[in-house]
Amino acid sequence: MLKRDFYNNHVDKEFTKYVETNNEGEMQEFQKYCQYYNNLGSLSMLQFELEEGQSTPILNTKRTMYLLYLLLWPMKIRYSWALFLLAAFLSFLERNNILSDVKQSQVKNKGINIFHTLLEEETLNVFLMVFLIPSGSILRTLIHLSLSLWALMHVCEMLAAQLRANPDTPVISILKPQIDQVIVSKVEINKAKNHVELFVGVICLPLVFMQYCALIFPIIYFQYIRIKYVSNLYTKHSFVAFEESVLNQVLPQALRDTAAFLSLKNFFMSFFQFEGDKSGDKKNAEGKENDFSATQRDTPRGQ
């Protein structure tokens, strides 16, 4: 609250007018959107704070690879996926300042942890590409669709930067409305990307019996989705949307209250939270046992 008041008084006196809402529901939706938008930073989308006019060869190389991937993959050119892989690996080096155009801003007294970057969306895309090996044509298309949505956001950032430098750039200037729409829709595109990945997890098991993918695919893919559920806000949103829009409409309440269904939900929860729940139950049980023993000691014999 103090930060907002300071910003409103000393930086932008019109700030409060920008976030006015008609009711509490709209305010909650706005706060949720802000949470998703701020989470883009942990997806390797907003890691660059570049000065005006600064050259960015590394960043442009990565985005160019994404552009070539978007152009070559629909043409079924072999090894087009390698361009996406190189771009993601280059982003990993940038994120850890191993190879970078500029040192990234860091939290005060804290450096960049390489293990944190392993759980970011762009790094996890590399692991998603591994599933292209044991998958059939249906799953392979869906995985490429997910990767293409990610590449599209980076490519539009590059094209928007080009338009800022030269608004009359041939061909690109015609696509300016579409480019702007992609840039302002990053939250929605990331949600759609994770919806696609969750859909892959839902249909992969039936496709195994139809011999459209290898048996090992769902076994490993469920672990991949579990990791993303723990580390990615957008994947959590996909699970919540799937449960509310599909499971709650299809499955009866009696089935959703069974131990097997609840165990499956706990499987995708944070491991530490799940362990904490079990330890909490154990402590409660021990507390009840101690209370019972104390009652037995305090009760006079013969009663």
Q: For residue 283, what pLDDT is reported? A: 46
Work out the average pLDDT over 273-296: 45
Task: Evaluate if residue 186 carries a pLDDT over 70.
Answer: yes
Task: Evaluate if residue 294 carries a pLDDT over 60.
Answer: no
Q: Among 30, 63, 31, 57, which Cα is nearest to 44's?
A: 63
Average per-residue pLDDT in the chain? 74
Q: For residue 102, what pLDDT is reported? A: 54
Residues 6+ away with beta carbon under 8 Å from 144: 73, 81, 132
How would residue 226 be classed by pLDDT, with cut points 50, 70 and 90?
confident
Per-residue model confidence as pLDDT tens digits over 21-33: 666 666 666 666 6
Regarding predicted confidence, which is higher, 108 or 96?
A: 96
Report d(CA 113, CA 188) in Å as an integer.
Answer: 28
Residues 6+ away with beta carbon under 8 Å from 25: none
Work out the average pLDDT over 249-274: 70
Residue 13 CB-half CA count within 13 A: 0
Regarding predicted confidence, which is higher, 13 or 289?
A: 13
How would residue 276 be classed by pLDDT, with cut points 50, 70 and 90?
very low
Work out the average pLDDT over 160-185: 89
Q: For residue 247, what pLDDT is reported? A: 78
How would residue 114 be classed by pLDDT, with cut points 50, 70 and 90?
low
Q: For residue 145, what pLDDT is reported? A: 94
Residues 6+ away with beta carbon under 8 Å from 190: 36, 40, 43, 121, 149, 153, 234
Per-residue model confidence as pLDDT tens digits over 46-100: 444 444 455 577 788 888 999 999 999 988 888 889 999 998 888 877 776 676 5
Cβ-in-10-Å burial (0-12, 13-18, 19+) of 6 comes to exposed
Q: For residue 268, what pLDDT is reported? A: 64
Report d(CA 120, CA 181) in Å as an integer.
Answer: 24
Instruction: Report the share of the chain in percent with pLDDT over 70.
Output: 62
Regarding predicted confidence, which is higher, 263 or 207?
A: 207
- 197-221 in b/e burial notation, b at 16+ Cβ within 10 A? bbebbebbeebbeeebbbeebbeeb
